[in-house]
Structure 1
Amino acid sequence: MQAHLATQEDDMWYVITDGSIKILKNRTTTTSVDDVPKMIEKPRYEWSTKDKRKVNLNNVAKDILYKMLDKNMFSKIKSCSTAKEIWENLTQLCEGNDQTMENKLMVATQKYDSMKIKSGEIMMDFEERFTNIIIELSTLGKTYSNREVNMKVVKALPRE
């Protein structure tokens, strides 16, 4: 049973990253010089229960991806027809291309550089804002040493 689940999970990931699974069978006649049978698409009426499950994985994957999204993100991908298309759009929206990543890093760096405690802000709230910026920078590939982070916190505090 465990091997069956691993295969189904692998097939699911394949559907998301590479596209729908086509059900193939060996062509009964060989047309190549080396007598290697060619694969052709299996007619729907010949599909086994296992074949039907594999073909349906695209629908299952789409359903899972849809359920993971909030209304805002769903509205951006609802026109996609395959799980692969949804995944590619989500990747683009969330990660972006190199230019997008560079822009995100620049904005996050500017936030870090201009970080100051707000008037009336308690230290716990400041720490949360600061930590979020550090995490954002880290996910974009920019890290600071503990010394740099500590110095930044000290400089962000008011003189009094």
Structure 2
Amino acid sequence: MQTHLAIQDDEMWYVITDIPMKILKANIAVAITEGAPYRMEKPQEEWTNEDKRKANLNNVAKDILYKTLDKVTFSKIKMCRITKEIWEKLIQLCERNEITKENKLPVVVQKFDNIKMKIGESMNEYDRRVINIINELNALGKVYSNKKVALKVVRGLPKE
């Protein structure tokens, strides 16, 4: 049974990274070089259960991908017809997100480094600003120790 699942996984990955499977049959009447049979599309009325399963793999793969996406990402890929298009769009979106993260991190680190309590600002407001910056840093993969954050908060307080 595991061999059958491995074959299905390979077929599924093919559908995601290439094109939907075409169901073909040999046309022995037409021979190509060295007597190899010419392959032509098999009419649907001749499909076996295995042929139907393979032909449906694109729909199964699309369904799996759809169920893993949030509404925002889904809205960006819902017009794609085949799984390969969805996969390529997701790769493009993820790469763009990584580049955005890389570009945004230095800006947020600088915000953290330069944060100071403003004149007339309450301790709660200052604390909220610090927490927002810490959350941004965490989302970008940069984590500071509690000790470093506490020191930053204290150093950002006015002398009076």
- Tell me the TM-score normalized by structure 2: 0.71
The whole-number CA distance in structure 2 between the counterparts of 1:74 and 1:44 is 32
Query: 1:6 corresponds to which residue?
Result: 6
Whether the 8 Å contact between 2:101 and 2:140 is mirrored in structure 1 is no
Who is 1:119 aligned against? 126
| 8 Å Cα contact 1:111/1:133 also seen in 2 | no
Amino acid at match of 1:134: G
1:109 is matched with which residue? 106
Per-residue displacement from partner, 1:71-93 (whole Å, max 9, x unpaired)? 22222222111111111122222
Preserved CA contact (<8 Å) 1:19 1:84: yes
Q: Cα distance 1:135–1:87, how it changes in 2: closer, same or farther (>3 A)?
A: farther
Match in the other structure for 1:78? 78
| 1:145 alignment partner in structure 2 | none
Partner of 1:69: 69
- Quote the Cα distance in structure 2 between the aligned partners of 1:29 and 1:8: 31
User: Counterpart in 2 of 1:45?
Assistant: 45
Considering fraction of residues, name the structure with more strand.
2
Q: CA deviation at 1:131?
A: 3.3
Per the TM alignment, residue 129 of structure 1 is displaced from its structure 2 partner at its CA by: 4.3
Larger Rg: 2
For residue 127 of structure 1, report the CA deviation from its aligned partner: 5.5
One-letter amino acid of the counterpart of residue 112, structure 1: V
1:27 aligns with 2:22: no
The match for 1:88 is 88
Cross-structure match for 1:15: 15
Offset of 1:101 from its aligned partner?
5.2
Give the percent of matched residue pairs that are identical in Structure 1 and Structure 2.
44
- Paired with 2:32 and 2:82, the residues of 1 have a C-alpha distance of 34
- The one-character-per-residue Cα deviations of 1:87-145 (angstroms, maximum 9, x if unpaired) are 1122222223xxx7545422222222332468225988765543333359xxxxxxxxx
Q: Cα RMSD between the aligned structures?
A: 3.1
What is the aligned residue count?
143
Q: CA deviation at 1:57?
A: 0.7
Q: Secondary structure at the match of 1:65?
A: helix
**8 A contact 2:19–2:82 mirrored in 1:** yes
1:71 and 1:53 map into 2 onto residues whose CA distance is: 29
Find the residue that maps to 1:3 and give its secondary structure.
helix
**Does the 8 A contact of 2:23 with 2:41 survive in 1?**
yes
Partners in 1 of 2:99 and 2:131 — Cα distance?
A: 30
How far apart, in 1, do the equivalents of 2:75 and 2:139 lie? 27
